Amino acid sequence: MSDAPGPRELLPRVVAFEVIAGLAMLAVSGVLADHAFQLWSRGKSFQSVELFGISICCLGGCFDPVNWMWICLPFTRNHITEPGRFAKAGWIIIGLGWLVFVVGMIGKYVHP
Protein backbone atom coordinates (compact mmCIF):
# COMPACT_ATOMS: atom_id res chain seq x y z
CA MET A 1 0.00 0.00 0.00
CA SER A 2 1.21 3.48 -0.75
CA ASP A 3 0.73 6.64 1.24
CA ALA A 4 -0.06 8.69 -1.87
CA PRO A 5 -3.15 10.83 -1.51
CA GLY A 6 -6.17 9.68 -3.43
CA PRO A 7 -8.28 11.78 -5.75
CA ARG A 8 -9.87 14.88 -4.34
CA GLU A 9 -13.40 14.56 -3.15
CA LEU A 10 -15.75 17.32 -4.29
CA LEU A 11 -17.82 18.50 -1.36
CA PRO A 12 -21.28 20.02 -1.87
CA ARG A 13 -21.47 23.80 -2.20
CA VAL A 14 -22.98 25.89 0.57
CA VAL A 15 -24.16 29.07 -1.14
CA ALA A 16 -24.65 31.09 2.06
CA PHE A 17 -21.06 30.39 3.16
CA GLU A 18 -19.78 31.28 -0.33
CA VAL A 19 -21.58 34.62 -0.27
CA ILE A 20 -20.30 35.48 3.22
CA ALA A 21 -16.76 34.37 2.38
CA GLY A 22 -16.85 36.26 -0.94
CA LEU A 23 -17.95 39.48 0.75
CA ALA A 24 -15.28 39.03 3.43
CA MET A 25 -12.63 38.56 0.73
CA LEU A 26 -13.91 41.67 -1.06
CA ALA A 27 -13.60 43.66 2.19
CA VAL A 28 -10.06 42.34 2.77
CA SER A 29 -9.15 43.27 -0.79
CA GLY A 30 -10.43 46.81 -0.27
CA VAL A 31 -8.52 47.23 3.00
CA LEU A 32 -5.31 45.96 1.39
CA ALA A 33 -5.78 48.27 -1.62
CA ASP A 34 -6.30 51.23 0.73
CA HIS A 35 -3.15 50.37 2.66
CA ALA A 36 -1.25 50.00 -0.64
CA PHE A 37 -2.41 53.47 -1.66
CA GLN A 38 -1.19 54.87 1.66
CA LEU A 39 2.20 53.23 1.12
CA TRP A 40 2.32 54.74 -2.37
CA SER A 41 1.59 58.18 -0.88
CA ARG A 42 4.53 57.76 1.51
CA GLY A 43 6.88 56.99 -1.37
CA LYS A 44 7.22 53.22 -0.83
CA SER A 45 6.31 52.34 -4.39
CA PHE A 46 7.49 48.73 -4.63
CA GLN A 47 6.00 47.74 -1.26
CA SER A 48 2.80 49.31 -2.51
CA VAL A 49 2.88 47.30 -5.75
CA GLU A 50 3.54 44.11 -3.78
CA LEU A 51 0.59 44.74 -1.46
CA PHE A 52 -1.63 45.71 -4.37
CA GLY A 53 -0.82 42.35 -5.99
CA ILE A 54 -2.03 40.58 -2.85
CA SER A 55 -5.15 42.75 -2.98
CA ILE A 56 -5.80 41.65 -6.57
CA CYS A 57 -5.37 38.01 -5.51
CA CYS A 58 -7.99 38.49 -2.80
CA LEU A 59 -10.29 40.15 -5.32
CA GLY A 60 -9.92 37.16 -7.65
CA GLY A 61 -10.64 34.87 -4.73
CA CYS A 62 -14.09 36.45 -4.42
CA PHE A 63 -15.23 34.51 -7.49
CA ASP A 64 -14.56 31.10 -5.90
CA PRO A 65 -13.93 31.95 -2.23
CA VAL A 66 -14.28 28.55 -0.58
CA ASN A 67 -11.89 26.76 -2.91
CA TRP A 68 -9.41 29.63 -2.85
CA MET A 69 -9.27 29.67 0.95
CA TRP A 70 -9.19 25.87 1.20
CA ILE A 71 -6.32 25.57 -1.29
CA CYS A 72 -4.31 28.28 0.51
CA LEU A 73 -4.62 26.54 3.89
CA PRO A 74 -2.21 23.61 4.28
CA PHE A 75 -4.51 21.33 6.27
CA THR A 76 -7.57 21.59 3.98
CA ARG A 77 -6.07 21.05 0.52
CA ASN A 78 -8.25 18.03 -0.27
CA HIS A 79 -11.51 19.59 0.89
CA ILE A 80 -12.58 21.47 -2.21
CA THR A 81 -16.10 22.10 -3.43
CA GLU A 82 -17.60 22.17 -6.88
CA PRO A 83 -16.25 25.24 -8.67
CA GLY A 84 -18.65 28.10 -9.21
CA ARG A 85 -19.74 29.55 -12.51
CA PHE A 86 -17.06 32.26 -12.57
CA ALA A 87 -14.22 30.25 -11.01
CA LYS A 88 -12.00 30.38 -14.10
CA ALA A 89 -12.25 34.17 -14.25
CA GLY A 90 -11.27 34.32 -10.59
CA TRP A 91 -8.19 32.17 -11.18
CA ILE A 92 -7.15 34.42 -14.09
CA ILE A 93 -7.44 37.47 -11.80
CA ILE A 94 -5.46 35.64 -9.09
CA GLY A 95 -2.74 34.92 -11.67
CA LEU A 96 -2.62 38.60 -12.60
CA GLY A 97 -2.36 39.53 -8.93
CA TRP A 98 0.45 37.01 -8.46
CA LEU A 99 2.32 38.62 -11.38
CA VAL A 100 1.93 42.10 -9.85
CA PHE A 101 3.07 40.73 -6.47
CA VAL A 102 6.21 39.21 -8.01
CA VAL A 103 7.03 42.47 -9.84
CA GLY A 104 6.71 44.37 -6.55
CA MET A 105 8.85 41.84 -4.71
CA ILE A 106 11.60 41.91 -7.33
CA GLY A 107 11.52 45.70 -7.45
CA LYS A 108 11.68 45.96 -3.67
CA TYR A 109 14.90 43.96 -3.55
CA VAL A 110 16.53 45.33 -6.71
CA HIS A 111 15.81 49.02 -5.94
CA PRO A 112 15.93 49.37 -2.13
What is the pTM for the complete model shown? 0.80
Q: What is the pLDDT of residues 47-105, one digit of tens each?
A: 999 999 999 999 998 988 888 887 777 776 666 777 778 888 998 999 999 999 999 99
Rounded to 5°, angle at Cα 85 from 84 and 89: 95
Question: What single-letter amino acid sits at 40?
Answer: W
Q: Which helix (H) or strand (E) holds 66?
A: helix 65-72
